[in-house]
Structure 1
């Protein structure tokens, strides 16, 4: 019989064999009993639930969503049909509390627990983590909207009801939410949004086209539109945009004032339904202050950017684990791949990049946790908020870019097998590109980093906190890091004198802050 190569395998039996979860919990969670409770839940999730989720994700990928524009009798129905496996991933998300965990106000470590679980789930989710990201962002947004004193009783009731649904751990009650902003006239530049909102009674009707909408099977969405006055005029630019809540379907499950043009044929994320659609009189509620739509919705996409970082490192870890497993099975030139020094060096260098991405992501998650704990206790911590504001876009761009470069190397490490679709390896390369694009491209997020520095003095806080941390470190190591920190600070001061020069260096600035954050703030997390 001719030779058959054994392929790489996901080891669902040996949870946390590299002590990554254990060490992260020691780093970020106080209380031995709490750490053990979280670890026990993650152990059960990994060994008992994820093997099922993996099977469902494979089924969902093999049976992508389908747009059914008309019924057999010619009625315009615009149904988006998803495979039963996609629905099972939705139910799993509810029962496992993948949103609920982050919004349980009595749980001071809920975000850490939640994001570790999402990190494990993503590679077996068929990108169901995308609607979960927008749903969690919607929950955060609703919390902020409910703080507005002028919010009327009906809208307060509406938002409270939506919040209960999207944070429920009951599959029968659980909703997901969309975040529909992108139009043909502008993606990241939402100031060119054309969708109009025309008042009708106490509500509005929306008219316009959304060119790229994920989570199109959700029950609700938040979106931006321009309010049209009685003369048919709208205010141009960002100042004319307001935030609206839309319930997508009626009680019979039919879309209300929404027409699906088509499903998008994407490079990757094939199981995820993404549509181009028209608002054609969709009923909407103005839930933010008129003209402050971008400010309002920023609460949502700050969460989705942290999700992007977390799911990126989940994908990164899975492919790295598969490559390491394969390197122990594949023999070339009389030795296993892992026994060749050059192959081992390649994997080791990639693993170091993964560790940096993991540390930066979970340091940012810890800041999110701290900010929400402070808020729950009615405490204000400007430093934590400034660091979170700075590191959220950096964590997203840093992990996405590091991952796509590593993914190319890891696919190559499988040789020709990495180029064959039914091995499952090419999907990682196709899907990795999306992490760099949605929730803001690398350049857009680098510019956002500059805004955080210039408008909120975030770098000054970063520098101050970094210096405090360096005082606790070994003198030689602290000296080298202080030199790097001071060099960046000097360059930043020079660049800030010229807006074009500042923008020119924005990427370099963002990655260097990311590297310094890892080396200074995350030194306590050790990898086996």
Structure 2
């Protein structure tokens, strides 16, 4: 490839970005760690095809069009009446990307049974998340309603035997469908003006209708099913799937105002016209939010007045029910974080191979490559953490990781109870820390690209500024960092605390044993000390004091768990590059006293893999 000093030279690097799944060393190791090895041919073909699709010209054009033509409201009809039928207008690009999300199974994959032709077992959550990792930066954030749809499908699947089983089964069929003409998306409506992330502040109320009231208003939803026996009234302050077909929401019920969960279709047929015309089901879109990022995603304030729906589970169990969705959306949040970060690093790698400054390419500039290498090491840690969470989530849903290297080396505990305990304990930490690291990492990528990184480029492949804006929401969605810290403290100081800490202790002890057996003695010492300090704090400090130290606790647990993951990964094949990543993460700047040329060699290998190492040596 001929180097160029102009920005046009970047377009010569596009094939390098398109081969992200081949060039991203960390992603390749994640695939080999959590999926069957060797990878079945059908899965390999699908990932290769998809890695090119996500950066194809049609997809990029859809993303640019969705960003350019943002959603808007038509609140009134031509004659000034309230527009209840089609008040929200979304772009062609947004709708096309949603169709891609559906056809590619980025909801359905996690719910589809293994095919009879499969000769190995695999974790469906992991495979879906690898595709999501490739897809998210090109998707204009259709993955957000996709993640909520995924969670809604899992929640409804647990209530098919109850009195509303027929209605829930039909909704489930549509939520997981790969046919855009059939498929539904779902909203997750919890945030209110008073409550925010604290769902106990919910002001929306639900009341079960009397038989007479049901008789007077026996309407049906858009597909002809009854609207439901409950009436909901309230206000939802932040809904990120305003164009969805249904919603899962929380509302107060009964005299004690306990929190219950509800399913509600978003549209109802007008005057029983067999679906020819429909209107919003007791919902008025008050206004769309003007946000820093996620511009193509319609986010709105919703007034709910007379919305009809169905109770999910038992009254007063809403928080417990909604946790099913939160586990999935928080895991999805972590994957989105590493996805945006991974794309920004891929762009930097490609750009460095063609951009010439002071007479040499950036890839031959030691200080530039060292900066990238430091970010790649942190990215590797976050990738291992995010995919541990989705693997554990898959186990909790019945997926198998038995044929994966992660199971063979006990990254996934053999005791399912321990897997569930780790999932509960580590999910809030992973959600919080991957988001914060991705925001910092994508910002650094903007700087690494110079002026191009700061531009709102029409071509989405160059628009790292847009990626940064979208990434910033990930530390807020599904709970801020403080909310995640409080959730962690609630676990360790609560009824589940002893079981969760015992499971983590056994997991860490195994990792430390592996570390010492594979010449990671110094690293094992650091991790052992971190674990002892963390346990001491948990056992000696009150929940209030731990909450005061909340962010520090998240960081310590992240360094500890990611260090164990990197060591376990490196030890499975004694890969020297994986060993270097583990050392750099755990020991930080004290990793060694090697010469700068040796360090620079490692920097290059971390960023570009072994393929460019020979070229790197030639320029030192």
Q: Structure 2 length as normaliser, TM-score?
A: 0.78
Equivalent of residue 303 in structure 1, options 312, 318, 328: 328
Alignment of 1:314-393 (within 5 A): 314-373=339-398, 381-393=416-428
Q: Which residue does the alignment assign to 1:425?
A: 464
Note the C-alpha offset of 1:90: 1.5
Whether 1:241 and 2:247 are equivalent positions in the alignment is no
Q: SS of the residue aligned with 2:280?
A: coil
Aligned residue in 2 for 1:438: 477
Q: Which residue of 2 aligns with 1:208?
A: 234
- Any conservation in 2 of the 1:387–1:461 contact (CA below 8 Å)? yes
2:50 pairs with 45, 49, 52, which one?
45
In the TM superposition, what is the alpha-carbon distance from 1:303 to its structure 2 partner?
0.2
2:534 & 2:562 partners in 1: Cα distance? 20
Counterpart among 5, 8, 16 of residue 6 in structure 1: 8
Name structure 1 gaps, 5 residues minimum: none
Whether 1:54 aligns to 2:72 is: no
Aligned residue for 1:373, secondary structure, equals coil
Deviation at 1:478, TM superposition (A): 4.8
Equivalent of 2:487, from 428, 432, 448? 448
Q: How does 1:222-301 map onto structure 2 within 5 Å?
A: 222-227=248-253, 229=254, 234-236=255-257, 240-250=258-268, 251=275, 252-301=277-326
Contact 2:527 2:563 in 1 (8 A): no
User: How many residues align structurally?
Assistant: 512
Distance (whole Å) between structure 1 residues aligned to residue 429 and residue 513 of structure 2: 25
Change (3 A) 1:226 1:116: same
Deviations, residues 328-369 of structure 1 (Å, cap 9, x unaligned): 222222232332222211111111111111111111111122
Q: Deviations over 1:383-425 (max 9, x none)?
A: 0100111121122111101111112221112223322223523
**Secondary structure of the residue that 1:225 maps to in structure 2?**
strand
Please give the per-residue CA displacement for 1:48-87, whole angstroms capped at 9, x wherever unaligned. Answer: 4541322211111111111111121223125211111111
Structure 1 pair 280–30 and aligned structure 2 pair: CA distance change class (3 A): same
Aligned to 1:463: 505
CA distance in 1 between counterparts of 2:284 and 2:396 reads: 40
1:89 paired to 2:97: yes
Q: Residue 295 of structure 1: CA displacement?
A: 0.9
Separation in 2, partners of 1:421, 1:317: 19
SS of 1:92's equivalent in the other structure is helix
Q: State whether structure 2 residue 196 is matched by structure 1 residue 187.
A: yes
Query: Contact 2:512–2:528 (CA<8 Å) still a contact in 1?
Result: no
Q: Secondary structure at the match of 1:241?
A: strand
2 CA distance for matches of 1:206 and 1:380?
42
| 1:387-406 correspondence runs (5 A) | 387-406=422-441
Q: Does 1:142 align with 2:177?
A: no
Q: Report the counterpart of residue 111 of structure 1 in structure 2.
A: 125
Residues of 2 paired with 1:31 and 1:345: CA distance? 32
The correspondence for 1:472, drawn from 510, 514, 528, is: 514
Contact kept in structure 2, 1:115 and 1:365, CA below 8 Å:
yes
- Find the partner of 1:162 among 171, 177, 186: 171
Pick the structure with greater CA Rg.
2
Q: TM-score, normalised by structure 1?
A: 0.91
When residues 23 and 219 of structure 1 are mapped into structure 2, their CA distance, relative to the original with a 3 A threshold, is same
User: Cα offset for 1:21?
Assistant: 4.3
Q: What secondary structure does 1:76 align onto?
A: coil
- Alignment RMSD: 2.4
8 Å CA contact 1:467–1:482 kept in 2: the answer is no
User: 2 CA distance for matches of 1:482 and 1:429?
Assistant: 37
